[in-house]
Amino acid sequence: MRISLAPMQGFSDRIYRTALSHIGGVDAYYAPYIKIEGGQIKPKSLADIAPDQNAGMTVVPQVMANTSADILQVAESVAAMGYAELNWNLGCPFPMVAKRQLGAGLLPYPAIIDQVLTEYEAQSDVALSVKMRLGYLSADEVWPVIDVLNRHKIKEIIVHPRIAKQMYGGEADKSVVPAIIAKSAHPVAYNGDIVTAEQAQKMMADNPAISQLMIGRGLLSNSFLASQIKGVETNIFVKRNQLMGFVGTIAEKQLDRLQGAGHFLQKMTTYWEYWSQMFADAHRAFKTVKKCRSVEEYTDKVQDIVLGWEIVA
């Protein structure tokens, strides 16, 4: 069973990816989308996927754009870094993005998608995969887009079965997956609402043709999930040691990167909104971290939680 980490802006940077790789179970890491502003790639986006900063991992860069010129610019840059695949984001649901016909906001315009792919294929050898939602306003938007993708060279389609207007609310419509697999001329991967090993195994059992499972929030909430899906379960002593190394490494690297204790504590608190769910008393764990007012206090409280509190992950 192939498992990948979903690209999550603000979370799954090279620091997080490297720390997670030491726990294991993840086969590929999709990086947050490379940002283009004023027709230019932001250097910080490329720095995140620098090969020397992602050693030992299979990383897939991602682009969010609505013109072939922008995608080609990114493809050329990542190819120069040694990457052979680029993922096109047609799934971002955030209104400030979608209203500009980016991410899921491009799904109602299959003709534009068709034109972009035609121009891209004529000028680049970098394989292109697509991560998409069912639609922007309606789930029916998926079918014209699949028809377009079928006419082009697509390495893989990664489907998150929600529409953009749902954001991350409600439930992902897993029932539509068999129809998408049947209609698609390309391999289909699944993404959405996989938070337990049992859910992952059921999805694969119900849809054995799925090429991979991409997991985002499920892995943020349980760093051991990928290993558990693959049937690997560690004893509590090893688990505590791995988890301490995981959260400790991220804290150390973020402290070096960020300026000031306030910025550091704010960043770590966003992670602990998810990490706290690995403990029996998730609410108290998160509240304990959120109340920290210094790096020293954070370090002490986190060590107490990881080494002493009941882990349910």
What are 265's two structure tokens? 């504590």
Residue 259 has pLDDT above 90, yes or no: no
Contact of 273 with 184, CB cutoff 8 Å? no
User: In the structure, what pLDDT confidence band is assigned to residue 52 with cuts at 50, 70 and 90?
Assistant: very high
Q: Exposed/middle/buried for 163, CB within 10 Å: 0-12, 13-18, 19+?
A: buried
| Token pair listed for 5 | 């980490």
Tokens representing residue 156 in the block = 């893989």
pTM of the model: 0.96
Q: What is the pLDDT of residues 78-89, one digit of tens each?
A: 999 999 999 999
Average pLDDT over residues 296-313: 97
Q: Using an 8 Å Cβ cutoff, are 145 and 114 in contact? A: no
Give dist(CA 148, CA 110) in Å, integer: 7
Closest CA to 129 of 180, 51, 189: 189
Residue 38 clears pLDDT 90, i.e. is over it:
no
Q: What are phi and psi of 96, to 5 degrees?
A: -65, -20
Nearest CA-CA partner of 17 in 223, 278, 242: 223
**Mean model confidence pLDDT for the chain:** 97
**CA atoms of 194 and 192, how far apart (whole Å):** 6
What is residue 55's predicted lDDT score, i.e. its pLDDT? Answer: 94
Question: CA 50 to CA 217: how far, in whole Å?
Answer: 24
Q: Please say whether the beta carbons of 279 and 309 come within 8 A.
A: yes
CA distance 85 to 17: 18
The predicted pLDDT at position 233 comes to: 87
Which are the contacts of 235, defined by CB distance < 8 A and separation ≥ 6?
none
**Per-residue confidence (pLDDT) for residue 98, from 0 to 100:** 95
Query: Is 90 exceeded by the pLDDT of residue 251?
Result: yes
pLDDT, average across residues 166-181: 96
158 SS3 class: strand
What pLDDT, on the 0 to 100 scale, is given for residue 47? 95
pLDDT of residue 37: 87
d(CA 221, CA 277): 6
| Strand, coil or helix: 312 | coil
Q: Rg of the chain's alpha carbons, rounded to an integer?
A: 20
Query: For residue 3, what are its two tokens?
Result: 């498992």
Q: Angle, to 10 degrees, between the axis of helix 295-308 and the axis of helix 236-257?
A: 160
> Strand ranges (DSSP E) for the chain?
3-5, 28-30, 36-37, 40-41, 59-60, 62-63, 85-90, 127-135, 157-163, 188-191, 213-215
The residue-averaged pLDDT of 115-130 equals 98
Q: How far apart are CA 176 and CA 178, in angstroms?
A: 6
What is the architecture, at CATH level 2, of domain 3-229? Answer: Alpha-Beta Barrel (3.20)
Residue with tokens 């020293």: 296
